[in-house]
Amino acid sequence: MNVLVIGKGGREHALVWKLKQSPRVTQVFCAPGNAGTALDGVNVPIEANDVDGLIRFAKKERIVLTVVGPEDPLSHGIVDHFRKAALTIFGPTKAAAQLEASKAFAKKLMRDADVPTAEFRVFDHPEPARTFIETREYPVVVKADGLAAGKGVMVCATKQEALAAVERIMVREEFGRAAGRQVVIEKRLDGEELSVLALVSGRTIIPLAPAQDHKRALDNDEGPNTGGMGAYSPAPLATPALLDEIESHALVPTVHALKRRRTPFRGVLYAGVIVTNQGPRILEYNCRFGDPETQPVLMRLKTDLFELLLATAEDRLSELVDKPLEWDPRPAVCVVMASQGYPGSYPKGKLITGLEEAALLPNVKVFHAGTKFEGGHTMTDGGRVLGVTALGETLAEAKRHAYDAVAKIHFAGACYRRDIADKALKKSVVSGP
């Protein structure tokens, strides 16, 4: 059976690599893909937003399952279009994808469904937003309503910063007119963050192994926010009790609320959680696999991913609910190597060397993100370039393996954090083995 993955990042390379391992899968196509998806699958030169082109391709190649990586095509309704063309596709409809595409929608749904989340207000004019900020006695976070490629959220230390954030989002429309039409202002919370991803179809929810991302560009969580500089799974922070609480207090009421509104969710529901002293709070929902969390999570998944995603897309996940997912007990760590300047502007077209040497290391998989193959060479082609991922008997060993592989790989201006997984390692020292 032939499968199509849409996108070109590290997450999509991990999906291609894992889907390809299914005994039922013949060929995995990736549109448009990168140099890594071309090695583990077959690239197709169709952009992720070219829905007509993708549908034509899926029909021609008799694709049995299409898996959407990024949020943009989901928010534009790619799933609705594929279903109308009688094609099977993994992901939520446009209506359900509002959960990620509109933060105001998500916050209101959470309030209606009693999901624990930060106190908030939604504004569609700057003036009342300013007044609200002036009268708050706590620090706030200001969020553009719409998709902003991870740049539309400002965690503010002062009122001045919060007022400036409103200016940037609503007046200067720095994240686009549509994304800045509304703003969510919410209470700033304190705690460690956790990503909880679950497969969802109908009322069935199957959580995946939890992971922790590293959002900031620099060591010790300094520097600007990025798409993610590294991740590990499992997350020692995510005890079974905490995961149960997140499932029953957040995932279940959210899935039920969407179903009641006649916009049932099918796909992967990703809860961005902050664990406060008062318990877990949902910061946001995403409607697709996380990047880079997917890389260490899929590295550990032993269950056939194709079966899982097909069952989700066909709305028969309930058939699998009694079969627990199988995980490699070993932890996995992913270190993102980025171009110099990322998340700001950065050069492209730098030669990457050492990929073959890194691939020879046991327990290592180098997932490509912003790469392309040109003239017999692999070159950089994006901000985040590679997700170097490794398994180890312990988290410390997984980290060591990942950084051993990183040390073999070179390109001009390569940047990466040196402290991926350290937070969890410190914790395990405190709480014992």
Ligand X SMILES: Nc1ncnc2c1ncn2[C@@H]1O[C@H](COP(=O)(O)OP(=O)(O)O)[C@@H](O)[C@H]1O
Distances 216 to 92, 176, 200, 273, 327 between C-alpha atoms, Å: 28, 23, 29, 16, 28
- Cα distance between residue 376 and residue 131, in whole Å: 59
Of 110 and 242, nearer to ligand X (C-beta) is 110
- Cα distance between residue 9 and residue 226, in whole Å: 14
Which strand (E) or helix (H) includes residue 374?
Answer: strand 371-374
C-alpha 291, offset from chain centre: 4
List binders of Mg ion among 237-296 (CB under 5 A).
Answer: 272
Question: Which of Mg ion, ligand X, none does 259 bind, CB closer than 5 to 8 A by kind?
Answer: none
* Residue recorded with tokens 């390569």: 414
Least gap, CB of 193 to Mg ion (angstroms): 8
Question: Which of ligand X, Mg ion, none does 188 bind, CB closer than 5 to 8 A by kind?
Answer: ligand X
Question: Which of ligand X, Mg ion, none does 153 bind, CB closer than 5 to 8 A by kind?
Answer: ligand X
Least gap, CB of 193 to ligand X (angstroms): 6
Of 149 and 351, nearer to Mg ion (C-beta) is 149
Span near ligand X by CB under 6 A; candidates 71-79, 125-133, 187-195, 260-268: 187-195
Which strand (E) or helix (H) includes residue 320?
Answer: none
Least gap, CB of 109 to ligand X (angstroms): 14
- Cα distance between residue 105 and residue 179, in whole Å: 12
Q: Report the DSSP beta bridge partners of residue 123.
A: 183
Of 77 and 272, nearer to Mg ion (C-beta) is 272
The residues, any chain, with a CB within 8 Å of residue 87's CB and separated by 6 or more, are: 55, 58, 59, 63, 66
Instruction: Tally the residues of the chain.
Output: 433
List binders of ligand X among 156-185 (CB under 6 A).
Answer: none
Q: By CB under 6 A, tell whether 150 contacts ligand X.
A: yes
* Among 202, 217, 249, residue whose Cα is nearest residue 415: 217
x/- mask, ligand X, residues 267-286, rule CB under 6 A, reads -----x----------xx--
Q: By CB under 6 A, tell whether 188 contacts ligand X.
A: yes
Of 60 and 138, nearer to ligand X (C-beta) is 138
Q: Report the DSSP beta bridge partners of residue 3.
A: 28, 65
Q: By CB under 6 A, tell whether 155 contacts ligand X.
A: yes
Query: What residue ranges bind ligand X (CB under 6 A)?
Result: 118, 141, 150, 153, 155, 186, 188-189, 193, 215, 272, 283-284
Query: What residue ranges bind Mg ion (CB under 5 A)?
Result: 272
